[in-house]
């Protein structure tokens, strides 16, 4: 599981910082999460292949989270894309995007498949044999979702040494891989778990931006490996958080502590502060394992 931060600052693009967008690579998928202005430039800087992106998840319809999407869709067209693109986002996103395409007479030569969201309850919005993606209803000024990405547990793998120790012929190895027990010539039954190895632990990632402090999400993200949670303000400006429906670094750390997550990544910083290290210092007062997102930063989770 690999996370590339394309942008992680609040509100407006600046010469050195970009609004929210990130790429999650998980189980051979490359998911784009939010698409603020400048996303496609950041994709190029990080040398991420556009053609690998087939699913885009938009948390809400504030400009710093989706104004880069029309341009990216247009660029896909100019690059000759023919694979369909799936876009998951709040109700209204299809109208917004298709209106721009209509007015510019620039319809795509590939299928755009919109999955509009309106439920205020968590729901699975994508699933295949390797991964599921569910919504995390958040509390912001407009309808907003976070997203929970979870690997499915892989199949058990053949323990060749164990099989050979029982004198099991190679012709039975596929049956073992398929989960079957083996009956030896002397009549003994060897359980499959004795002939296979546990699969790697399935990884999980939760994206929560933008939102006010919302303890209701704790059961949804309990024990996730990595939590990205917005931290727009420091505690010294905590009075601004409820007014704008954002969170402080301490509040993000409190969510991480309650949910007993493996690692907390902070982002969506207000640009009023001189250093993002202040966010980490504040969060560390509540939760130990805190990392800071920054534009261009890559996290590899093994």
Residues labelled catalytic: 64
Q: What is the 3-state secondary structure (H, E, C) of the chain?
A: CEEEEEECECCCCCCCCCCCEEEEEECCEEEEEEECCCHHHHHHHCCCCHHHEEEEECCCCCHHHHCCHHHHHHHHHHCCCCCCEEEEEECCHHHHHHHHHHHCCCCCCCCEEEEEECCCCCCEEEECCCEEEEEEECCCCCCCEEEEEEECCCCCEECHHHHHHCCCCHHHHHHHHCCCCEECCCCCEECHHHHEECCCCCCEEEEECCCCCCHHHHHHCCCCCEEEEECCECHHHCCHHHHHCCCEHHHHHHHHHHHCCCEEEEECECCCCCCCHHHHHHHHCCCCCEEECCCCCEEECC
Q: What is the pLDDT of residues 169-211, one digit of tens each?
A: 999 999 999 999 999 999 999 999 999 999 889 999 999 999 9
Does the annotation list 115 as a binding residue?
no
CATH architecture of 2-154+200-300: 4-Layer Sandwich (3.60)
Which residue intervals of the chain bear CATH 3.60.15.10?
2-154+200-300
Q: What is the pLDDT of residues 230-280, one digit of tens each?
A: 999 999 999 999 999 999 999 999 999 999 999 999 999 999 999 999 999
Does the annotation list 139 as a binding residue?
no
Does the annotation list 60 as a binding residue?
yes
Does the annotation list 62 as a binding residue?
yes
pTM: 0.93
């Amino acid at each position: 599981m690999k996370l590339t931060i394309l942008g992680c600052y609040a509100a407006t693009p600046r010469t050195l910082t970009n609004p929210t967008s990130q790429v999650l690579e998980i189980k051979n998928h490359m998911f784009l999460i939010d698409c603020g202005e400048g996303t496609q430039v950041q994709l190029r800087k990080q040398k991420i292949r556009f053609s690998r992106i087939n699913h885009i998840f938009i948390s809400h319809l504030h400009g710093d989270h989706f104004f880069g999407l029309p341009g990216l869709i247009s660029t896909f067209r100019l690059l000759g894309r023919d694979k369909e693109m799936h876009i998951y986002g709040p109700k209204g996103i299809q109208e917004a995007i298709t209106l721009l395409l209509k007015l510019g007479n620039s319809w795509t030569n590939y299928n755009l498949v919109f999955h509009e969201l309106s439920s205020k309850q968590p729901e699975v919005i994508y699933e295949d044999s390797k991964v599921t993606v569910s919504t995390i209803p958040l509390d912001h000024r407009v309808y907003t979702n976070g997203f929970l990405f979870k690997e499915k547990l892989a199949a058990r793998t053949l323990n060749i040494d164990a099989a050979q120790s029982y004198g099991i012929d190679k012709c039975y190895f596929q049956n073992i891989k398929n989960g079957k027990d083996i009956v030896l010539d002397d009549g003994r039954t060897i359980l499959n778990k004795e002939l296979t190895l546990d699969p790697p632990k399935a990884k999980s990632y939760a994206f929560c931006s933008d939102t006010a402090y919302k303890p209701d999400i704790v059961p949804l993200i309990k024990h996730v490996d990595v939590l990205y949670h917005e931290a727009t303000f420091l505690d010294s400006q905590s009075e601004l958080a409820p007014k704008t429906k954002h969170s402080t670094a301490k509040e993000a750390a409190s969510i991480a502590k309650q949910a007993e997550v493996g690692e907390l990544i902070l982002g969506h910083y207000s640009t009023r502060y001189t250093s993002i290290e202040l966010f980490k210092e504040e969060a560390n007062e509540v939760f130990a394992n805190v990392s800071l997102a920054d534009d261009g930063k890559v996290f590899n989770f093994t």
